[in-house]
Amino acid sequence: MTLLDFTIRIACAVGLGFFIGLERQLTGQVAGIRTNILVGLGACAFSLFSILVDAPDETRIAAQVVTGVGFLCTGIIFKEGLSIRGLNTAATIWCTAAIGVLCSSGHVLYAALASGILLFSNLLFRFIADRIKPLEHFDENENIYKLSVTCQNAIELNIRAAVLDHLKKNSHLHLSCLERADVIGEMAEIEATIHLTGKRSVLHIEKLTSAIALEEGVTKVGWELI
C-alpha cells in the first residue's frame, strides 16, 4: 500500500465520520462531530495496520474493532428516570466504526453508500417514529395492584358497587378479587386485587383511586403494587 492510498482511505473515514457526526450534533445528541470522526479514524487506522504489516488474517482486527466500539458505546447509554437515552447514538457510532473499516479496505463507494443510508435512516425514521404512538394496552408485562378502601360500615355494599362500576369503565382494569379486609368500629376496609396492562398502568390506578375517593362515606383510599 502506498502512502497516497493510506491517506485517501483515512481521509474518507474522517470525512464520512464528519457528516455522520454533523447530523448527531445538529439534532442535539451527546456524541457529535468529533466523536464520530475519531471512531471512524480509529476503526480505519486499526484495520489499515493489519494491511500494512501483512497480517495473515486481516478480519481479526475488524472483529476486535467491533468489540472495542461496543465497550465505547456503553458510556453513551444512560438511564434518566424510567427512560433510557443514547441507544440510537450508540448504534450510530457502531455504524461509523463499520464505515471506517470499509474505508480501510478501499471500498470507498460502499462506505459512502452506507453513510448515506445511515443519515437517511436517522433523519427520516426519526420523523416517522415521532409520529407513531405506542399501543397503551400492548404490553407483555402485567402489573397487579391491591386497592384498599376505608369507608363507613353502613355503606360498604354501596362502595363495593361503586368500585365495580369504576372498574367497568376502564378496559385496562381487571378485577380478580374484592373482599372485606377488616372492620374497626363503624369503619370497614375493602380490598380489591386488580390486574392492569399497558405502559401507563399507574395512571389508570391513580385515576381509579381519585374517583373512589370522591364517593360519599369514603375516608381513605390507597394502592400498592404486589
Q: What pLDDT digit, counting tens, does each position of 26-69 carry?
A: 887 777 899 899 999 999 999 998 888 887 777 888 888 888 88
What are 191's strand-pairing partners? 148, 179
State the average pLDDT over residues 163-186. 82
Confidence of residue 137 (pLDDT cuts 50, 70, 90): very low
CA atoms within 13 A on the CB side of 129: 7
Q: Output 41 or 137, whichever has higher pLDDT.
A: 41
pLDDT at 133: 58
For the domain spanning 142-225, the CATH number is 3.30.70.260
Measured distance between the N- and C-terminal CA atoms of the chain, rounded to whole angstroms: 66
Q: Say whether pLDDT at 138 is over 50.
A: no
Q: What are the grid coordinates assigned to 165, written together?
A: 362500576
Number of helices (H), then strands (E), in the chain: 7, 6
Residues forming CATH 3.30.70.260 domain(s) in the chain: 142-225
